[in-house]
Structure 1
Amino acid sequence: MSEIRILGISGSLRAQSHNTALLHAAQKYAPDGVSVEIYDGLRDIPPYDLDLDTPHHRPQAVRELRERVTAADGLLIATPEYNYSIPGVLKNAIDWVSTDWTGTEGLPLLRKPVAILGASPTNFGSVRAQLALRQVFVWTDSDVIAKPEVIVFRAHERFDEGGNLTDDTTIGLLQSLLDALAAKAA
Structure 2
Amino acid sequence: MSTTILTLVGSLRAGSVNRQLAETAAAGAPEGVEVQIFDRLGEIPFYNEDIDAEGTIPETAQALRNAAAASDGLLLISPEYNGTMPAVLKNAIDWLSRPFGASPISGMPTAVIGAAFGQYGGVWAQDDARKSVGIAGARVVEEVRLAIGSSVTRYAELHPKDDAETVAQLDEALRVLADASVSAV
- Whether these two folds match at TM > 0.5 is yes
Of the three residues 107, 116, 136, the one matched with 1:120 is: 116
Aligned residue for 1:148? 144
SS of aligned partner of 1:36: strand
Q: Does 1:99 align with 2:98?
A: yes
How far apart are residue 70 of structure 1 and its match? 0.8
Could you say what secondary structure the match of 1:91 adopts?
helix
Distance 1:55 1:139 in 2: 24
Given the alignment of the two structures, is residue 10 of structure 1 paired with residue 17 of structure 2, yes or no? no
Given that 2:113 and 2:144 are in contact with CA atoms closer than 8 Å, whether structure 1 keeps it comes out as no
Partner of 1:32: 31
**Structure 2: unaligned runs, 5 residues or longer:** none
The residue aligned with 1:170 is: 166
Residue among 125, 130, 134 paired with 2:126: 130
Asked if the contact 1:6–1:35 (Cα under 8 Å) also holds between the matched residues in 2, the reply is yes
Instruction: Give the 4+ runs in structure 1 shifted more than 6 A.
Output: none
AA aligned to 1:59 is P
Which amino acid counterpart does residue 94 of structure 2 have in structure 1? D
43-52 or 137-146, larger mean C-alpha shift: 137-146
Q: 1:9 to 1:61 in 2, by over 3 A?
A: same
**Deviation of the 1:156 alpha carbon:** 2.6
* Mapped pair 1:51 → 2:50: yes
Give me the identity figure in percent: 36
The answer (yes or no) to whether the contact 2:93–2:136 under 8 Å persists in 1 is no
Q: Give the superposition deviation at 1:165.
A: 3.1
TM, length-normalised to structure 1: 0.91
CA distance in structure 1 between the partners assigned to 2:66 and 2:54 by the alignment: 11
3-state secondary structure, aligned to 1:165: helix
Contact 1:10 1:79 in 2 (8 A): yes
How far residue 161 of structure 1 moved from its aligned partner, in angstroms, is 4.5
Deviates most, 154-163 or 41-50: 154-163
Match of 1:185 in 2: 181
